[in-house]
Structure 1
Amino acid sequence: MEIVITDGADTSGRLAADAIVALLQRKPAAVLGLATGSSPLPIYDALAARHSAGEVSFAQARGFTLDEYVGLPADHPERYRTVIDTEFVSRVDFAPDAVQGPDGLADDIAAACASYEAAIAAAGGVDLQILGIGTDGHIGFNEPGSSLASRTRIKTLTKQTRIDNARFFGDQVDAVPTHCLTQGLATIMSARHIVLVASGTGKAEAVHHMAEGAVSAMWPATVLQHHPHVTVLVDQAAASRLQLADYYRQTWEAKPAWQGL
């Protein structure tokens, strides 16, 4: 796990965008794993700017979103498929239907989850997965207690997650759905490269456990310690609980330029 402490969310977003652009230059038909929430927005802004400047194309790429609320109408502004279309997909040149998400309106939820897993596999798997992290250490919507071997499935959101997400629903916790579909931890771990971004003191405890704590279902993101290629981009505030912060800074400063992320 590589920890990069940056001077802010915009720098983290630029570094992540650099890695995605480099991937698409090597492999134009790459498969991207797309997260929603606040943390990835600087990445999408940077990628949209690079696309507008003619530096990168997504025309051959595919995308799979991490999760989706269950039961939100198709036209709801906080439906994650709507959010990712607004914040990213509509701003670049993905082909029609090149980006898929779990079907939170499916009549048969179990079948929809199995179908989503099969679609990711049929695409050749995810080349680069973007992640955020919850204050309780969840990635995707894999809440504390999630199986480290889990695959795409329905989950019940914790009260804390619903409180955290209420800001997207007019600060009304009761308006946040109680269930979601999410890629499982094993699904996420199948990606070839994982880039996790976090900013703010509210994420500091989760970042500390993820990088330096024991691997435990109580802090689901700790499973990433077992992945061979994880890049964690955090600002100074999110890094404030890291015991080895000075070492991470030294490592980044001494890193050979040819390695990239």
Structure 2
Amino acid sequence: MRIIILPTAQHVANYAADRVVDILNTRSNPVLGLATGSTPIALYQELIARYQSSQVSFQQSVTFNLDEYIGIPDTHAQSYRTFMNHHLFEQIDIELANTYVPLAETTNVSELQRNAQEYEVKIQNAGGIDLQILGIGVNGHIGFNEPTSSFASRTRIKTLAESTVEANKRFFSDDEFQPHLALTMGIGTILESKAVLLMATGQSKANSVKAMIEGPLSAMCPASALQLHAAATIVLDEEAASELTLKDYYQWCEQKRQQLHEGSWV
């Protein structure tokens, strides 16, 4: 893991945007894995600003989102398709036909399983994901891979943890159906991405960040699976990094990495 600790959440978003723009500008037909939630919004705002200033184009790109709620239409205000359209896709030059979110409106199990299998095939047919953007839940989940998820798991139906349901409750009105199931990329699917960039900001993520980076490799912290990825970058603000035992060492490592890159390490 490469651990990068930056002063603020906006610095984290700027760094992530730099990585995404580099992929878009240097690869033909780039494939991005995208995440929803509060943390990536600042990234998407930064990407929109760079598109508007003609620094980047999304016309040749393909995207795959991590997950979608089961049992609500993709036009629902809280669906992740709606989230992505609103926060990113409708404000850039990407072809909507090249943006994929798991199809999960149905509650028919066989159909959901078929949709999950087809999602895996679509990712493979696109050539795999060049850069997967991730957030992390307070319980260490990535995508909707809750604690005890298999590190070999593929896109599938997943029951959300009560803590996840509670954390997302604020997005639904009291009299509105809130899904407790989702279709999510598996940890095995995520680990096949060529590179992974996980963003974490705020004090509420500090304990899960520590478990991911410094804890044991454990299904109880699904994000710890990123210890197995050869090209995983973890980008944190100071608050999210506050519980790390080796925080000074990670900062030292990044300083030396930069010096080596600049040729000033001697």
TM-score, normalised on structure 2? 0.94
In structure 2, distance between residues paired with 1:259 and 1:224: 24
Tell me the CA shift for residue 25 of structure 1.
1.3
Closer/same/farther in 2, CA of residues 41 and 258 from structure 1, 3 Å limit: farther
Distance, in Å, in 2 between the alignment partners of 1:39 and 1:175 is 24
Report the count of equivalent residues.
259
Q: Distance in 2 between matches of 1:242 and 1:49?
A: 33
What's the CA shift for 1:257? Answer: 6.8
Q: Distance in 2 between matches of 1:97 and 1:52?
A: 21
Q: Deviations over 1:29-61 (max 9, x none)?
A: 100001000011111111111100000000000
CA deviation string 1:65-85 (max 9, x = no partner): 000000012321110011011
- The one of 233, 242, 251 equivalent to 1:231 is 233
Q: 1:100 to 1:212 in 2, by over 3 A?
A: same
Paired residue secondary structure (2:213): helix
Is the 1:163–1:173 Cα contact (8 Å) retained in structure 2?
no
Residue 124, structure 1, aligned to residue 127, structure 2: yes
CA distance in 1, matches of 2:41, 2:251: 24
RMSD of aligned Cα (Å): 1.6
- The corresponding residue for 2:150 is 147
Give the Cα–Cα distance (whole angstroms) in 2 for the partners of residues 178 and 201 of structure 1.
26
Partner of 1:179: 181
Deviation track 1:136-185 (CA, whole Å, cap 9, x = no partner) reads 00000000010110000000101100011112114x49742110000000
1:149–1:184 Cα contact (<8 Å) kept: yes
SS of the counterpart of 1:86?
Answer: helix
Task: Confirm or deny: 8 A CA contact 2:2 2:233 kept in the other structure.
Answer: yes
CA 1:52/1:259 → structure 2, altered by over 3 Å: closer, same or farther?
A: farther
Contact 1:68 1:102 in 2 (8 A): yes
Which whole-Å CA distance do the structure 1 matches of 2:203 and 2:102 have between them?
31
Residues in 2 aligned to 1:96 and 1:112: alpha-carbon distance in whole angstroms:
19
Which residue is equivalent to 2:214? 212
Cα contact 2:14–2:43 (8 A) shared by 1: yes
Letter in 2 for 1:39: T
**% same residue:** 42
TM-score norm. by structure 1 comes to 0.95
Match of 2:118 in 1: 115
Partner SS state of residue 97, structure 1: helix
Contact 2:89 2:96 in 1 (8 A): no
Runs of 5+ unmatched residues, structure 1:
none
How far 1:24 moved relative to its partner? 1.2
Q: Which runs of 5+ in 2 are unaligned?
A: none
Task: State whether structure 2 residue 93 is matched by structure 1 residue 93.
Answer: yes
For residues 197 and 53 of structure 2, what CA distance do their matches in structure 1 show? 24
Q: Relative to 1, partners in 2 of residues 1:250 and 1:258: Cα closer, same or farther, differing over 3 Å? A: closer
The answer as to 2:203 corresponding to 1:201 is yes
Question: What is the rounded CA distance, in whole Å, between the counterparts of 1:88 and 1:65 in structure 2?
Answer: 12
Match of 1:135 in 2: 138
Match of 1:80 in 2: 80
Summarize the Cα distance change of 1:257–1:98 in structure 2 as closer, same or farther, 3 Å threshold.
farther
